[in-house]
Structure 1
Amino acid sequence: MTTTTTLTVDIWSDLVCPWCYIGKRRFDQALAAHPGRERVQVRWRSFELDPGGSREPTLTLPERAHRDLGGTGSDNDRRMAMVTDLAAKEGLVYRLDRARPVNSFDAHRLMQYAEREGRGEAVRERLMGAYVAEGAVLSDHETLVLLAAGCGLDPGATRAMLAGGDFAEEVRADERRAMELGVSGVPTFVFGGRYAVSGAQPAEIFAQVLDEAWPKGPADRGDGVCEVGGAC
C-alpha cells in the first residue's frame, strides 16, 4: 500500500444490540494494531433491528429472547451467560438482566448529531455500555440527554434536537444504503465498499480483512460487496 492509500470501513450497528458492542471492541482492537490505522476512515451507520418496536420498555432482554427464541429457562440462561462471558473477555461488563430492548430510532438520531459535533465515539461507547450494563432506556429523551451530557454535548441543544425531527433523514439514508447492499443483520462491517464481515468476528478476522481490503488500483466505488466470514 502507498502512503496516500486510504480505506473506508462502514459499520452498521444498533445501539440496543449486545453483539454489536462486542463486535465494536474486537474491530477496535484489530484497527489499533494495524500499521495502516491512520489511513482508515471509519463511518458508523444507523440500523434498527426492530424499527417497529415500542418506545416503552416492557420486557428485559432475557425475557425478549425467551419469547422470540423459545426453549427452556435454562436454555435462555445459557444464551445470556455465553454472551456475557464473551463480552467479559473483551473487557466489557454486561448485566443483560437489566437491558430493556426499545425502539432505537431517536438514539440513532442522537448518534448522528454526536458525530457532527465531534463526540460520536464517546457517545456511542456510553450508550452501548449503559444499555448492556445499566438498564438505560435508550428511547427515553431525558436518559439520552443525560448520557450525552456526560460526553460533552450541551443538554439544551440535545433536548431540542430530540424534540424535533433533526437527523431523521440521515438515519433513514443509512438504512436505505444497508438495504441496497443486502445488509440484513448487525453488526456488519463493509471494507472499502467491497468486503463485508457479518457478526462479532474475532479480532484476527478483522485484521485479515483490513489487509486484504486495501485498494490496489483506483479508489473503491462500492459497486458490489463480497461477504467474508459467517453471518451472525
Structure 2
Amino acid sequence: MKVDIWSDIACPWCFIGKRRFEAGLRDFAHADAVEITWHSYQLDPSLPEHYDGTEVDYLSERKGMPRAQVEQMIGHVGEQAAGEGLHYDFDNLVVANSMRAHHLLHVAARHGVADAVKEDLLSAHFEHGVDIGDPAQLIQVAGRHGLDADEVRTALDDAQVRAEVEHDFAQARAYGIQGVPFFVIDEKFGVSGAQPAQTFTGALEQAWQASHPLAVQYAEGTTCGPDGC
C-alpha cells in the first residue's frame, strides 16, 4: 500500500505530522506493507535564500501578522511539538528558502534514504538552528546518510532535479493541496494536517479494507438468514 506525503522542511506542523503518522503506522496491522514516498512542497517559494531576521520577524513582516499573534502561535506549535518529543528552538531557527533542501531529498530518494534525510533536515532546521539553504550544511546532512558529496553538490542546483521538485508541486496542485502536511493513501484517501495518530491508523485501515475486500466462502446448510437456516 502506498502513502504519498507532501511536506515542506520549513513547516513546523510537518515535523509534528511526521511523528503522529509514524505513531499511527505503528498501530496499523499491515505496517510492513506500507511504502512511503516523500514529495516536495514549498509554503513560500518567494523567500530569499537567506532572510536576515527571526521566525517571528519573518511571519510578522512578510505575512503581515501582528507580532503578538505570531508569538502566541509559535508558543502553541512549540507545545504541540514537545508533546511529540520534539524540541523546537524558534529563537535560533534560521529562516531560509527550502528549495535546495528539497533537491537533497530527491537525491536521497534515489538512494533509498529519503525518510532518514527528511528526519535529519527537519530536526536540523527546527531543533538545531541549521541553515537549510546553505549548501555546505546540506552536504553535511547528506554525508551522515552515506550520500556522495560531489553528487549532492551538483544536484543542489541541477535543472533536472529542479524539474522533479516542480513535478511534486504540480501533483500537489492537481490534488488541490493547499497546505501541508498532506497524506495521500493509495491515491484514494487524503488526510490533511498533523492529525492525531489514531486518525492515521483509521485511514490506513480504511484504505487497506478498500483494496483488500473480504473474500467469503459459503457452505450450504451452515448459516442462518432472514428466511431461515
Taking structure 1 as the reference length, what is the TM-score of the superposition? 0.85
Equivalent residue, structure 2, for 1:199: 193
Percent identity, aligned pairs only, is 36
What SS class does the counterpart of residue 35 from structure 2 fall into?
A: strand
Q: Give the superposition deviation at 1:71.
A: 2.8
Equivalent residue, structure 2, for 1:106: 100
For residues 179-198 of structure 1, the aligned pairs below 5 Å read: 179-198=173-192
Q: Distance in 2 between matches of 1:12 and 1:49?
A: 11
For residues 132-211 of structure 1, the aligned pairs below 5 Å read: 132-211=126-205
* Counterpart residue identity of residue 115, structure 1: A
The answer for unaligned runs of 5 or more in structure 1 is: 1-6, 219-232
Q: 63, 66, 71: which is aligned to 1:71?
A: 66
Following TM superposition, where does structure 1 have runs of at least 4 consecutive aligned residues deviating by more than 4 angstroms?
none
The answer for unaligned runs of 5 or more in structure 2 is: 213-229
Does residue 9 (structure 1) correspond to residue 3 (structure 2)? The answer is: yes
What SS class does the counterpart of residue 42 from structure 1 fall into?
A: strand
Equivalent residue, structure 2, for 1:51: 45
Q: Distance in 1 between matches of 2:16 and 2:143?
A: 24
**Is the CA contact 1:192–1:215 (under 8 Å) kept in the aligned structure 2?**
no
Q: 1:53-73 deviations in whole A, cap 9, x for unaligned?
A: 111222221222233252343
Deviates more, 1:51-60 or 1:87-96: 51-60
Q: 1:69-114 deviations in whole A, cap 9, x for unaligned?
A: 52343x3322211111111111111001222332211111110001
Q: Given the superposition, is the C-alpha separation of residues 217 and 156 from structure 1 closer, same or farther in structure 2, using an over 3 Å criterion? A: closer
Q: Distance in 1 between matches of 2:64 and 2:20?
A: 26
Equivalent residue, structure 2, for 1:129: 123
Q: Given the superposition, is the C-alpha separation of residues 91 and 217 from structure 1 closer, same or farther in structure 2, using an over 3 Å criterion? A: closer
RMSD between aligned alpha carbons? 1.8
Q: Distance in 2 between matches of 1:32 and 1:217?
A: 20
Q: From the CA coordinates, give the structure whose radius of gyration is larger.
A: 2
Q: Distance in 2 between matches of 1:76 and 1:51?
A: 20
**Is the CA contact 1:30–1:206 (under 8 Å) kept in the aligned structure 2?**
yes
Taking structure 2 as the reference length, what is the TM-score of the superposition? 0.86
* Counterpart residue identity of residue 199, structure 1: G
Does residue 18 (structure 1) correspond to residue 16 (structure 2)? The answer is: no
What SS class does the counterpart of residue 58 from structure 2 fall into?
A: helix
Q: Give the superposition deviation at 1:140.
A: 1.2
Equivalent residue, structure 2, for 1:86: 80
Q: Given the superposition, is the C-alpha separation of residues 164 and 177 from structure 1 closer, same or farther in structure 2, using an over 3 Å criterion? A: closer
